[in-house]
A and B are shown apart, each in its own frame.
Chain A
Amino acid sequence: MTLRWNKAGGWSRIAGAALALMMLSACASVPEDPAARAAFEEENDPIEDFNRYIHELNFAFDQLVFRPIAGMYRTGVPARLRGAIRNFFDNLRAPVIFVNDLLQGEGERAGITLARFLTNSTLGLVGFIDSADMLFDLEFHDEDFGQTLAIWGAGVGFYLVLPLFGPSYPRAAFGLAVDSFIDPWDTLLRAAGVEYGPPARTLLNAVDLRARNIDALDDILRTSIDYYATLRSLYRQRRADEISNGLPSALQPAPLFRTRDEESHLMPPRPTESKDRRVDATPYGTSPVFDESVGADVIVQRPQTSELY
């Protein structure tokens, strides 16, 4: 399972999206009961049967091939070297992050990305050492064109499990294809005649990502009663968190956040505008109303459908 990918995945993802669109003919019908419909819209998974099928294939491949390889990578390669490899890949991502920072109007973050790239490519020995973070406190952040589209207000589409690549949305998949055009390295490698370069990069990137998620995913698999539904929810929330750059959004619970129309809290309100992480913004309303299902006054907020995941 991957939460993010770069390069080479782009085309497969588009193919996957096209395939999924064809599957739409077989999609589930929208429930008439309002409560069931609210839940249906929250899951945003009209092609669930198809998605579950791909999920099962992915899961089998993951358990038989991918996870074991990632496990060998984790035990065979010392932690420090793995860290250096991760730094190297992160540094290669700088052009994509920089362009998307700019496209999102995040001048300061674009500056940080540029400064990091210049520092780490030189002082950091072509990126193997994150000297920008160590020396100047310039922390890594990621961006992709899917997030840029979200900021621009493009709709997310529907939940889509891609073969090999796992959870996605058409918007995110399209974003990755655009990112692969922004990314200069694979083009440079091919121009230099290093044909195995781009696939090797994609593969190692994937193995590293999977290796870092081994414990977390094992734990989720062990404790969940519906692995598919859990991953779907996880991906949706992670994506919203990435798009809001870690700002606590209202997708997070706001535990007192209920409404008299008991299903409408299924609709997460739109995250607030600011992109700073630790802000005083509170995502819920402030007018207590008696809720009979709770037997107490609760805070009510008008539900809004979020486009931001």
Chain B
Amino acid sequence: MSRAVARSGVFFSLAVVASVALLTLIAPARADDMARNAERFVAELAERASALLSDEAATPAERRDRFRNMFRESFDVPEVARFVLGRYWRRAKPEEREEYLQLFEALVVRTWAPRFAVYQRERFEIVGAHAADGANLARVSSEFSFPDSDPMRIDWWIEGASNTYRIVDIVVEGVSMRVTHRSEFASVIRTHGGRLEGLLEALRKKTAQLNTDPQ
């Protein structure tokens, strides 16, 4: 009896030592963690998008609105909007910033949601994920395939910490969404004599026009 207890004690301590050793071995570096979590985040988004877009019970308009909402939630609009406006952000008055943020969100959602609304689960594949040491930032590489044309390479830049992850850039075939918008907006402001109002006016017109679009 006592032998058995002693033996189980030995087993118990061995088990503890073994699991501690195992935990140390598999405890990943922070960067690996970030990459893995970011990859899971993108994979979950893909699953949700798939479920949402194939929901036969919803009308097309409902599906579109839900997809837009999902996009809005998973995309870090304020952070990207600030980057895109660059040096003009700091000069902007509070009410200009507020309107700009709203217009930018409307533009991004109406531009990007339709691009992914044709999404089909079986045509999407995550290729890999990488994170920088010490940064809460990861790049998740993916590929969309099409029946009649070459696959499209899309990298998702994910920023996040403690279970809140957000998309901060979408890079299609090497073309970054935030870099492109930044370049475009700067150009619009410059052609309007360096006035932010010129950009806001153009954004008002464009979002109104995209609003009335059937897409």
Which residues in A have some Cβ–Cβ distance to B below 8 Å?
A: 35, 39, 42-43, 79, 82-83, 212, 219, 222-226, 228-230, 232-234, 237-238, 240-242, 246, 248-249, 251-256, 262-263, 266, 278, 280, 282, 284, 286, 288, 293-294, 299
Q: Is the CB of B203 within 8 A of A237?
A: no
For B41-78 the 0/1 string (1 means CB < 8 A from A) is 00000000000000000000000000000000000000
Which residues of B in the span 165-215 have a Cβ within 8 Å of any Cβ on A?
168-169, 171, 173-176, 178-180, 183-188, 190-191, 199, 202-203, 205-206, 210, 213
Q: Which of A82, A225, A252, A286 contacts B188 (CB 8 A)?
A: A225
Which of chain A's residues have a CB closer than 8 A to the CB of B132? Answer: 282, 284, 286, 299
Q: Is the CB of B141 within 8 A of A223?
A: no
Which of chain A's residues have a CB closer than 8 A to the CB of B168? Answer: 253, 255
Q: Is the CB of B184 within 8 A of A225?
A: yes
6 A–B contacts, CB within 8 A, in A order: A234-B180, A238-B173, A246-B153, A246-B174, A254-B137, A255-B79
Residue B149, interface by CB 8 Å:
yes
Q: Is the CB of A263 within 8 A of B87?
A: yes
Quick check: which of B2-10, B16-24, B94-102, B107-115 contacts chain A, the rest being far away?
B107-115
Q: Which of B135, B147, B185 contacts A286 (CB 8 A)?
A: B135
Known: A35-B87, A79-B148. A255 touches B171 (CB 8 A): no
Which of chain A's residues have a CB closer than 8 A to the CB of B171? Answer: 248, 252-253
Which residues in B have some Cβ–Cβ distance to A below 8 Å?
A: 79-80, 82-83, 86-87, 89-90, 107, 110-111, 115, 127-128, 130-137, 139, 141, 147-149, 153, 155, 157, 159, 168-169, 171, 173-176, 178-180, 183-188, 190-191, 199, 202-203, 205-206, 210, 213
**Nearest-CB residue, chain B, relative to A242:** B174
Known: A248-B155, A252-B155, A286-B132. A83 touches B178 (CB 8 A): no
**Nearest-CB residue, chain B, relative to A281:** B130
Complex formed: what's the CA distance from A245 to B111 in Å? 28
Distance of B203 from chain A, by nearest CB (Å): 7
Interface centre among B110, B169, B176, B188 (most CB of A within 10 A): B176
Which of chain A's residues have a CB closer than 8 A to the CB of B173? Answer: 238, 241
Distance of B47 from chain A, by nearest CB (Å): 23
Complex formed: what's the CA distance from A219 to B157 in Å? 22
Distance of B96 from chain A, by nearest CB (Å): 16
Distance of B196 from chain A, by nearest CB (Å): 13
Q: Is the CB of B86 within 8 A of A229?
A: no
Q: Which of A35, A223, A284 contacts B206 (CB 8 A)?
A: A223
Known: A79-B148, A219-B115, A225-B206. A238 touches B175 (CB 8 A): yes
Q: Which of A232, A238, A253, A262 contacts B169 (CB 8 A)?
A: A253
- Starting from the known contacts A233-B184, A278-B141, A299-B132, 5 additional A-B residue pairs (CB-CB under 8 Å) come to A229-B188, A252-B171, A253-B168, A278-B128, A293-B89
Q: Is the CB of B180 within 8 A of A225?
A: no
Q: Is the CB of A83 within 8 A of B148?
A: yes
Q: Is the CB of B178 within 8 A of A255?
A: yes
Q: Is the CB of A256 within 8 A of B159?
A: yes
Which of chain B's residues have a CB closer than 8 A to the CB of A263? Answer: 86-87
**Nearest-CB residue, chain A, relative to B149:** A212
Complex formed: what's the CA distance from A266 to B205 in Å? 28
Distance of A130 from chain B, by nearest CB (Å): 11
Distance of B198 from chain A, by nearest CB (Å): 10
Known: A223-B107, A280-B130, A284-B135. A42 touches B183 (CB 8 A): yes
Q: Is the CB of B186 within 8 A of A39?
A: yes
Q: Is the CB of B135 within 8 A of A256?
A: yes
